[in-house]
Amino acid sequence: MELQLRTNENGISERDSKNHDAFEKMIGSFGRYQLRLCLLIFLTKFPIAFHQMAIIFLAPKVEYTCGDATNEKCPCPNPVYDTSIFNRTIIMEWDLICDRKWLTSFTQTLFQLGTLIGSVLFGMASDRFGRKKPFLVAIVIQVIMGISAAYIPDFWAFTFVRFLIGVSVGGTMVIGFVLVMEYVGIEYRDVVSALYQAPFNLGHMLLPVYGYFLRDFSDFQLGISIPTIVLLSFFILLPESPRWLIAVKETDRAIGILEKVAKVNKRSVDIRKEVATYQETSQKNQTRKGNILDLFRTPNLRKNILCMAFNWLSCSYCFYGVSQYVGQLSGNVFINVASSASVTLLGSLASIPLMRILGRKTIVILFNFICALCLIILCLVPEGISSVVFACIGVVSSFIVFVVVYLYCTELFPTVVRNAALGFSSMMARVGSMIAPFVIELRDVALWLPPFAFAVLPLLGALITFLLPETKGCELMTTIEEGEKFGKKVENTLKNTQNK
């Protein structure tokens, strides 16, 4: 009897926390249906990587001489570009040198701004209108704008179209991950969360292949955009989230989907009865449609979202910034990019056993500290092999944090605001990635400044994470009330004398 009354540090009874997720009872933790869904959603990560990292080959470092026969690099009204590696880049096309050099970073910053806006807008839309419809809208935008960008003759029009691609990328990133997590059971959630990042790494690794064979930026842009056409099949293949349907009282549709999933997974369960039981147990807390403001109305949720969002900003800032910083080193650009992507793939795979062994909170704290330490050391060592090693460790550490915070954020917030939380956190990640290109330019002031600037935020992120609760092994929450209760210290209802 005493065990039934004890509560853990998150305020959830031990008996309840050991129970399987109600949806897991109906459709299984991970069966053939979940596998098919994962393979579908994982496809979207390839174009996400293509478009986010495309700037490496759209605007690679290029040498040039001035046509006026002077030794001055700037001003240079008639530049003659070295086309021995790349035939045409956006730098060559629109003379993004000298006083226009900042436009190269600016076009990438606007892309990340689009991703930021897309994360928020599509995050809120998917909580309000379901996961499928906003996801499909994002895919259509990505296909149309990606192909159109290859034919844009003007820099500012090109930048605006890239901004719209960023909006679509933000939408597919946020919604795709939530949809996967809402189908996968607790037991496999950490593994799937880590593997969800692997296609991004593979897409990143494929970019040098595109760049090697397509050395004109228009051909390159078209080459990375055409494969996204296959995502239009999601109009037929993609299901809605039964969790969301039940949360908004569309029970019949949810039952139909759950029965289909159970059939594919060969589970003999009375879905209608199980759903009715689940609704009865959650009836006390009336579920309503949430929005981003609900994350800030109550103190515990507010603290959680602010701490989580800062960690997203920090790891994105470091990952994109240090990855580009490594790209500034001398060597073959195709090999350098492939090597950097390969390292992050190892980070994705390493995070799987790490999440099995350690808690989400522990991993975020540990690898934030490792990232900060390596970047501080990078300030002190001369450029060479040692600097590449420490930079790569910093990249891997920040990416492992990136992998874990995706799952951590999903588990930390209830269904009605989960996408809004991911959207807001992803928005802050975009802020970090928007700042990063300009931090790299601090090399012109002092070589040690960029790594030092990149080290500060993960160090703060590690300290802030101590304020968050652990979520490993916990059932996904549904209501605002559950989310506010989660993580609070709860007094034991039994006196110590009764436990003797």
Residue 397 tokens, joined: 């550490």
**Which one, of 474, 20, 415, lies nearest residue 245 by Cα?**
415
Residue 379 has what pLDDT?
A: 87
Across the strands, what pairs with 178? none
Alpha-carbon dihedral sign for residues 418, 251, 133, 263:
positive
Please give the pLDDT value at position 16.
38
Instruction: Count how many Cα atoms sit within 13 Å of the Cα of residue 419 in the half-sphere of its side chain.
Output: 36
* Angle in degrees, CA 279, 265, 403, rounded to 5: 80
CA neighbor of 274 nearest in space, from 254, 250, 245: 254
Angle at 236 between CA 230 and CA 242, to 5 degrees: 120
Q: What pLDDT, on the 0 to 100 scale, is given for residue 453?
A: 92
Distance of CA 143 to the CA centre of its chain: 20
Q: What is the DSSP-derived secondary structure letter of residue 476?
A: P
Amino acid letter for position 193: S
Structure tokens at 444: 């012109």
3-state secondary structure of 446: coil
CA 239 to chain centroid, in Å, comes to 21
Task: Determine the distance from the C-alpha atom of residue 20 to the mean position of all C-alpha atoms in its chain, rounded to a whole number.
Answer: 27
Q: Which residues 6+ apart lie within 8 Å of 48 measured at CB?
A: 169, 172, 173, 200, 203
Site of tokens 């597919």 = 172
Q: What was the pLDDT predicted at 233?
A: 94
At residue 68, what are phi and psi to the nearest 5 degrees?
Answer: -90, 10
Which superfamily does 22-492 belong to? MFS general substrate transporter like domains (1.20.1250.20)
CA distances, 75 to each of 67, 106, 155, 187, 327 (Å): 11, 20, 20, 61, 26
DSSP per residue, 132-149 = HHHHHHHHHHHHHHHHHH
Find tokens 């039994």 and name the residue.
494
Predicted TM-score of the model (pTM): 0.80
Burial class (CB in 10 A: 0-12, 13-18, 19+), 189: buried
**Residue-range domain boundaries for the chain:** 22-492
Give first-to-last CA distance, the chain, whole Å: 14
Tokens 């820099």 appear where? Answer: 155
Predicted confidence at residue 70, as pLDDT, reads 62
Backbone angles phi, psi at 81, to 5 degrees: -90, 150
Cα 194 from Cα 319, distance rounded (Å): 16
Mean pLDDT in each 10-residue stretch from start to end of the chain (500 residues)?
A: 32 38 83 92 94 90 76 78 92 90 88 88 88 95 96 95 95 89 84 85 92 95 95 93 87 89 86 81 62 86 93 91 74 78 85 87 94 92 79 88 86 84 82 86 80 93 93 80 73 37
